[in-house]
Structure 1
């Protein structure tokens, strides 16, 4: 046993020495292998950092969390303060804001804030400071309207690109129902992820990491033909077949170890710049991008082991003799009998009976079976590709133009290397098709129809009323705002039945001009001074309260209701006019149904309303790019606490949106890796053919014909790989749809994925053309 270990160690070391000291050919092959493996290792280290990244994000969010429920009843003290959230949106990006007013001399401070800002001041995140200082941030600078006096440190931010601020505001009062807190920090509510999202996340992990593993396995086989000829020379000087295999494994091991080091270096470099890189609105502090130690250790062991195993398996089909390599003859045909059952077995594993329970089938799916089944399907597609390429090119005719003849003959002689070059993109496209089919099938379950009508309005702005003229000020201000094409505004308040119990007698009161009220009810004829009793259109909401309170000729309290904010003022009686007509409501642009008493301004004493809120509904001019930003600035000028909301026809579930964003980020990184790895693989193949290309040029073959032949050598395997990806991806997608109980596949998602894969291959091929022209020079005939 010890002798065997010593032999392995000796031959592995000798192979490593050949890898780094075997002349330009040796170290060039080792460098290409290290680059290929390093790219994969970098992405795998990034994937291993996801758990720590998510934990860090959650810890940062919880550190600044304000839990108003636990702070109920907090009395003013030296360390307490009043706060209110004041979030806004600027050109599609969310800006998180908090207004603060200390109660005493030593108030609590949010994480990352050294000194609380005074009224008229604010502390901002570095990204927000940069935006406010730039010319494109002028509108936001005008909206916030405060002086920047400090910067929020990293402990108070989820990510370096987050836009957030804390501002001092002396207008906050407890009487206005502003919460009071004594500390920052809490626990985010947790709930189990939707079972269908669990399926998507598990399958996505396999789909995104499988191409990386495929390329690492491909990278360790770079330069295989030249290596085998070098091994034949070693056989000539006395090495036996076992020694040559071990030395070949040593060469691959050296390249893999170099790839580990290079990948770790690339990861550390990318980690350093992670705060400056934003993908799909996601970025992270470098300190948060830390691989899980167990996963990193597993990666450090798996990559070298993979290199050795792949090399030994590849050499099983090659006979290295002292006089040459048998590979130059026609190789044995690849067998399909063991390849085809793999994807079928994967589909069977995916559909195995689940754990018993009362929940839907996808809620009981075993994650290990799910990952294993998807892995088998994608691995089956990978091993089917070489057989498919060999079977097709063996039947191609050699006639036709010279480039086609050269390409066909080259593919017939070595179809394996051509298949390996496109195996990564084949697996990626197949997995992407399956994921997109799954996403398209379940997205309706995570999309809610809001009832809002964006054809009638695009924004709403709620402004606390400060006096009798607020309604008119709101209308005039928004009508004068650039980019606002139409405005309606009403005042919302409440009244209660005079002489009756508060509970069950409160009725909404809506005050506005006839045009504004018509957006909320079917009024019929209307003029200033009219009053209406508005019933819910379905007759199911508010009818009992209306019958008791909103009766024509009945008296109501304008300061009525259990939550009236005017305890020191005596409630004023108001009589609902006898001639008030009863009408039905209609759904407003914001998707709300308002009932109760509708009154025009001259019919009701506006100064005596209970805590009125003016709500404007805005129609924007699509020809003005920043119309929404001008409207938000107007709302901020009217009142800093104004709440502006964008109307949407539909809303996405937050968990679904988070998973979708994460997949977009991960798929972008994987796609970039695939492009880089394919370029490295293409350059390696061209380097292998350098002498052949130079010989053909020396014998008079035109360079254009050689260029087209190389393009055909890429196009044929790519076409076959994409066809296999479409079939395999559809099969996996249909299996996953059955798993989650869906039966309507969206076939339209197939072609964008296949088109993206083809475009990526074309791009990589074009990038490799300069290297191709350089390799056709006569000096390619030189040898060592």
Structure 2
């Protein structure tokens, strides 16, 4: 019986929502749009697992190069394949050179036929880039004829840049083995059959993922909760009429919950529509070099149903909670009387409980095993919910003490004093997002050093490095780079190793061949001319050179220490004129030992036993200088990509989590802006008659506009201040949990708060045109 009564009252509320005239429809529409934006983002979140699985599946289906794979012999079903990817400006291009060895050679996914020599098949995005003015430099590097496009099954995203190129020069580089020496060439019999093992996430990275999800989803829940309360004041006045015709207070609240339920149901419809439209748009977008096909975004049915149930239940519960302090009587709503002051004690319990859940994991670090996921999620959730609970109390306490000022200030302060809760609800989402962002920024900055390792390379002396393939004269290659625009200096070296025996030598030393100017960059020389040989003394971890550097000693190149095909070791006698040189740190960050040899001091027969390395110092003020170097390198060897030097390397997993955070934050910021705008428009609509009355009595429009800005600025300032405190506290606790020293990057904190303030300011400015339209005397008309 009780359930039947609840169902009848809720149904009556739904009827009121859709049959309440123009005002009712506008309120339901605004609620539906606000809830719909949140639902769309929640649906996107539920689709993430399937999107990640789809991308991983596509990547696995086309996997090919695996250096741990078992060697296979040449057959009619094998394919020689080389990694020939490149970089254009800041975009990575996946590339493969292919040479089928028989009629049954496997085709990569998405490719209908093998491209002939001089042809390539490309992804649609790469085809578009090559055909544009922007791709002029890239066309010089990839001049092959486009013979087709790669299908969707062979790509992980619609904006991926990729190509497969026909080749006939991979056989000499394969040497009949699975992986050729010095080259990224493999022989495979099928795609997608490569096995690779991945290490489990360490606990700190898992902690990062958990916190990222909570921080990104919490503002969405806050906005949905705020959206179902749109038009609350007018709704309560309508409900007073129900009391006049005999309904009790319980029935009135259930009818109100029914109205909220109607708005939430419409929000689910809108949210589904927004999601479907956004899914199609996602196919043409790229955020932080991540793109997805629309088919990837397929929400799990179970999770989608869960989202619907949670949103509907939240609409009812939030409405009943909001009406707990409102007395709806037959003759009106008792809300205009001075309400009781908000209590602080229970609001403090929420963040304190959150800290209590996180405290047992303080000091655990990555050596203490995985963090308890439930405690992490619950603790972070309670701390962020504490922001939404504390902010109304802080706004009420502060605005109650604000004094006199200009007319605009007084209008704003008086409005905030009468409805501080409404103002706080508008800012809650921003405050939660900023608090979470500050905590995450602190955590990322604190643990970044654990996932970032210095390379030791001197990026001031050298910015790019090029490997010269065997058989290519080093001097000619170096000359090409010297003629390349933007290259300041070229350091070219031929490198190899010598031993005291023909095979299985016990003593070995490095040999570096270069002109005098290049040798001075890697060792300390007093004097040098072509034909000199130097033995380096004092190099770290080099104890073999002294024994091998005695004049007249015979040493052997390729004495079992170089990779690749076995050749007859070449003998070389250390000349009697060998000089001494002192070790110094070279551009790679190491002290180079062994022999330093000028070109005339070595016989021509030794040249094939050496590998060429070219180090480049660039004028980075020249536009696209890196791509100019890559184009030159492609004329020397189209497979080997020049290496960009960096002072440090960062973990790929850490980078992927960071990228995921940026993508999610971009989506949440878009939701924040859109939802705030809807909320602001709803507030202005609620006060349409009040604004019109003030204009009719002679209040200047500029004064009213300024009062609206003050009404937004005061809660925003308080919300961002609270968010900073909570964010710093949460960040400090997370750092202690990861056993990392607490450091605060104040520039990042200011950036986070500034971003939140900028979003609110932009929304406020966008709401000024509707505000000016509402400030007309004809707004006093009523039906």
Q: Sort the TM-score into its range (normalised by shorter chain).
A: over 0.9
SS at match of 2:360: coil
Q: Out of 353, 366, 391, which is 2:397 matched to?
A: 391
TM-score (norm 1): 0.95
Structure 1 residue aligned with 2:3:
5
Q: Out of 462, 483, 489, which is 2:492 matched to?
A: 489
**RMSD of the TM alignment (CA)?**
1.9
Q: Aligned partners of 1:157 and 1:285: how far apart in 2?
A: 9
Structure 2 residue aligned with 1:149:
147
Q: Aligned partners of 2:18 and 2:252: how far apart in 1?
A: 17
SS at match of 1:316: helix
Q: Out of 344, 347, 353, which is 1:339 matched to?
A: 347
Structure 1 residue aligned with 2:468:
463
Query: Is 1:192 matched up with 2:200?
Result: yes
Q: Out of 45, 48, 72, which is 1:47 matched to?
A: 45
Structure 2 residue aligned with 1:514:
516
Structure 2 residue aligned with 1:759:
758
Q: Contact 1:87 / 1:95 at 8 angstroms: preserved in 2?
A: yes
Q: Deviations over 1:241-282 (max 9, x none)?
A: 222111111110010011011101111111112121111111
Q: Aligned partners of 2:282 and 2:33: how far apart in 1?
A: 21
SS at match of 2:335: helix
Structure 2 residue aligned with 1:714:
712
Query: Is 1:406 matched up with 2:411?
Result: yes
Query: Is 1:212 matched up with 2:217?
Result: no
TM-score (norm 2): 0.95
SS at match of 2:346: coil
Q: Aligned partners of 1:125 and 1:625: how far apart in 2?
A: 26
Q: Out of 718, 728, 732, which is 1:730 matched to?
A: 728
Q: Contact 1:354 / 1:366 at 8 angstroms: preserved in 2?
A: no
How far off is 1:107 after superposition? 0.7
How far off is 1:352 after superposition? 2.0
Structure 2 residue aligned with 1:553:
552
Q: Deviations over 1:664-723 (max 9, x none)?
A: 000111111111111111111000000000011111111111111111111111111111
Query: Is 1:449 matched up with 2:454?
Result: yes
Q: Contact 1:565 / 1:610 at 8 angstroms: preserved in 2?
A: no
Q: Out of 649, 662, 665, which is 1:664 matched to?
A: 662
Change (3 A) 1:346 1:740: same
SS at match of 2:612: strand
Structure 1 residue aligned with 2:533:
531
How far off is 1:593 after superposition? 4.2
Structure 1 residue aligned with 2:243:
235
Q: Aligned partners of 1:386 and 1:732: how far apart in 2?
A: 20
Structure 2 residue aligned with 1:95:
93
Structure 1 residue aligned with 2:289:
281
1:313-712 paired onto structure 2 within 5 Å: 313-352=321-360, 360-361=367-368, 363-397=369-403, 399-467=404-472, 470-498=473-501, 500-535=502-537, 537-538=539-540, 540-541=541-542, 543-544=543-544, 546-547=545-546, 549-561=548-560, 570-712=568-710
Q: Aligned partners of 1:631 and 1:79: how far apart in 2?
A: 37
Q: Contact 2:470 / 2:608 at 8 angstroms: preserved in 1?
A: no
Change (3 A) 1:140 1:707: same
Q: Contact 2:696 / 2:777 at 8 angstroms: preserved in 1?
A: yes
1:29-108 paired onto structure 2 within 5 Å: 29-69=27-67, 71-108=69-106
Structure 1 residue aligned with 2:129:
131
Q: Deviations over 1:512-559 (max 9, x none)?
A: 111112222222211100112235622x23x23x35545432223345
Change (3 A) 1:162 1:503: farther
Q: Aligned partners of 2:94 and 2:609: how far apart in 1?
A: 26
How far off is 1:348 after superposition? 1.2
Q: Which runs of 5+ in 1 are unaligned?
A: none
Q: Aligned partners of 2:405 and 2:168: how far apart in 1?
A: 84
Change (3 A) 1:495 1:641: farther
Q: Aligned partners of 2:316 and 2:335: how far apart in 1?
A: 20
Q: Which runs of 5+ in 2 are unaligned?
A: none
Aligned length: 772
Q: Contact 2:468 / 2:474 at 8 angstroms: preserved in 1?
A: no
Query: Is 1:266 matched up with 2:266?
Result: no
Q: Contact 2:85 / 2:639 at 8 angstroms: preserved in 1?
A: no
Q: Out of 196, 200, 211, which is 1:203 matched to?
A: 211
SS at match of 1:632: helix
